[in-house]
C-alpha cells in the first residue's frame, strides 16, 4: 500500500477511535463543525462526513482582509462539493466592525488585548450562541495534538489549573445546558499528519498562518515544543498523556454545584456580571 494512503487511513482510524473511546459523537445527533477554511477544520469535516455523521458547517468571518476572504471561498467550495450545509456568521454583521477595527479602537483606549485574544473571545461567543440557535448537540473543532499540547503548557506556565481541568477530547468540567459541548476528534492526530492528509485529498486550503498571529504567546510555545519534539520525538504525545492521567483529579477539584451565571447583557454564560464579549464590545461603542 502506498505510504500516503497508509497515512490517510491512520489519520481516519485514529479520529474514529477517539470518537468511540471518549463517546464524543452520536450519528443520531445534529453536529456542527466550526470551520475556518484551514487544514484542520476541513479535514475533520471531511472525515465526519465520510463516517456518515449528520454534519453541518459553521464559519465565523472575522473580516481580516484577503486572508479570511480566501478562507471563506475555500470552505464554500468544499461544502458545495460535498453537499454540506454551511452557516456563515460575520463579525461585521454581528458587531458592526471587523476584528482589526475592534483591536485598533481598543488600542487607542489603552486596552492592549492581542488580536488572538479578541478573536478567541468573540468567536467562542458566536459559536456557542449560534450552536444553540441551530439546535446542535455538539460543536466540533479542529484542534489537533500540537494545539492541545501547547494549551497544556500555556496553562501550566500561567498557573491556570481550572482552564487545564477543562481541556481534553471533550471540553469542560461538567455538562451545562447553556453551553453546546465542544469536542475534538483530532485530539491525537499531529499537525503534520493533518497537513499531509489535507494535501493528499487536495482540499482547497490556505496553509499560511493567520497574519494577526505574529508574536503571540502561543507562537512562542509552539516554537519551543516543535524544537523539543525534533530532539525528543513523542514530546507532544507525552504532554497529552500526562494531562489525561491527572484530568480526573483536576475535574473533581473544580467541579461545582453552583448555578451557572448568565451575562446581564446578552444572557450567555459568564463568571462575571458581564461576559468578556460584552466587556470588549462595550469599550468600542
The domain made up of 3-284 has a fold known as Rossmann fold (3.40.50)
pTM for this entry = 0.93
**What is the per-residue DSSP string for 225-262?**
HHHHHHHSTTHHHHHHHHHHHHHHHHHHHH---SPPPB
Question: How far apart are alpha carbons 259 and 231 in whole angstroms?
Answer: 47
Mean pLDDT of 149-159: 96
Q: Which helix (H) or strand (E) holds 33?
A: strand 30-34
Q: Which three cell numbers stand for residue 37?
A: 477554511
Question: How far apart are alpha carbons 204 and 244 in whole angstroms?
Answer: 34
Q: Where are the domains of the chain?
A: 3-284
Bigger pLDDT: 84 vs 6: 84
* pLDDT, tens digit, 9 for 90 and up, residues 180-195: 999 999 999 999 999 9
Question: How far apart are alpha carbons 18 and 188 in whole angstroms?
Answer: 8
**pLDDT for position 2:** 67
pLDDT at position 135 over 80: yes
Q: Which three cell numbers stand for residue 26?
A: 452520536
Task: Kindly give the residue spans of alpha helices, DSSP state H, lying in 56-205.
Answer: 65-81, 91-95, 99-108, 115-133, 145-157, 161-165, 191-200
* pLDDT, tens digit, 9 for 90 and up, residues 193-250: 999 999 999 999 989 888 877 768 899 999 999 999 999 999 999 999 999 999 999 9
Amino acid at each position: 500500500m502506498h505510504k500516503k494512503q497508509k497515512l490517510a487511513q491512520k489519520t481516519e482510524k485514529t479520529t474514529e477511535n477517539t470518537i468511540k473511546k471518549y463517546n464524543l459523537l452520536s450519528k443520531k445527533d445534529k453536529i456542527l463543525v466550526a470551520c475556518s477554511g484551514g487544514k484542520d477544520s476541513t479535514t475533520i469535516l471531511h472525515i465526519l462526513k465520510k463516517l456518515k455523521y449528520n454534519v453541518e458547517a459553521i464559519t465565523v468571518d472575522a473580516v481580516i482582509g484577503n486572508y479570511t476572504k480566501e478562507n471563506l471561498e475555500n470552505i464554500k467550495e468544499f461544502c458545495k462539493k460535498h453537499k454540506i450545509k454551511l452557516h456563515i456568521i460575520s463579525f461585521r454583521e454581528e458587531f458592526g466592525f471587523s476584528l482589526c477595527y475592534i483591536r485598533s479602537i481598543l488600542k487607542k483606549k489603552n486596552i492592549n488585548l492581542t488580536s488572538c485574544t479578541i478573536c478567541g473571545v468573540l468567536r467562542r461567543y458566536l459559536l456557542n450562541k449560534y450552536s444553540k440557535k441551530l439546535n446542535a448537540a455538539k460543536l466540533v473543532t479542529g484542534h489537533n495534538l500540537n494545539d492541545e499540547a501547547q494549551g497544556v503548557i500555556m496553562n501550566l506556565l500561567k498557573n491556570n489549573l481550572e482552564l487545564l481541568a477543562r481541556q481534553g477530547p471533550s471540553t469542560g468540567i461538567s455538562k451545562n445546558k447553556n453551553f453546546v459541548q465542544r469536542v475534538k476528534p483530532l485530539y491525537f492526530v499531529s499537525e503534520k499528519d493533518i497537513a499531509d492528509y489535507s494535501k493528499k485529498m487536495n482540499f482547497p486550503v490556505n496553509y499560511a498562518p493567520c497574519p494577526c498571529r505574529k508574536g503571540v504567546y502561543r507562537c512562542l510555545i509552539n516554537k519551543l515544543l516543535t524544537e523539543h519534539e525534533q530532539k525528543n520525538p513523542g514530546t507532544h504525545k507525552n504532554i497529552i498523556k500526562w494531562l489525561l492521567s491527572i484530568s480526573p483529579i483536576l475535574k473533581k477539584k473544580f467541579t461545582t454545584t453552583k448555578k451557572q451565571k448568565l451575562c446581564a447583557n446578552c444572557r450567555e454564560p459568564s463568571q462575571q456580571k458581564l461576559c468578556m464579549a460584552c466587556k470588549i464590545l462595550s469599550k468600542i461603542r
